[in-house]
Amino acid sequence: MIDRREFQMRARIETETLQAWIEANWLIPGQGEAAPSFSEADLARAALIRDLKDDLGVNDEGVAVVLSLVDQIHGLRRTLSDLLQAVRAQPEAVQRQIATVLRGSERPFNG
């Protein structure tokens, strides 16, 4: 984990900017023993925010929308990974049946 000072240095942001991003829930630091801490993922998110605002001129509302979409994509990836693990845990016949349905030859109608 990365402490606040190192995070600001590596993210190339000022204290006020970091505080504003935390208040906007764009960054959510972990709660370490002594003080909030950040991860490498938080650094990547800060770089994305900086790029959106500084390089692309995206306003705060736009940044919030982009971050929400990124979070949704990450959630979907986790869900798909869990689903893939569940399918791989099934007998081979069930796996083949699922693959057949996914290819569209037996697509069920669910309303």
pTM of the predicted model, to two decimals? 0.77
Locate tokens 């909030």: which residue?
A: 36
Total number of domains constituting the chain:
2
* pLDDT for the residue 109: 52
Same domain for 82 and 106, yes or no, is: yes
CA 75 to chain centre: 7
Domain end call among 19, 41, 58: 58
Segment-wise mean pLDDT, segments of 10 residues, the chain, 111 residues: 94 96 95 84 97 97 98 97 96 93 68 44
Examine the domain organization and report whether 49 and 69 are in the same domain.
no
Residues 13 and 28 in one domain: yes
Query: What is the structure's pLDDT at 110?
Result: 53
The predicted structure's pLDDT at residue 31: 84
Indicate if 78 and 38 belong to the same structural domain. Answer: no
Pair 64, 51 in one domain: no
Query: What is the span of the domain harbouring residue 1?
Result: 1-58
Q: What pLDDT shows up at residue 111?
A: 44
What stretches of 1-111 show up as alpha helix (H) in DSSP? Answer: 4-11, 15-23, 40-50, 60-88, 92-103
**pLDDT number for residue 83:** 95
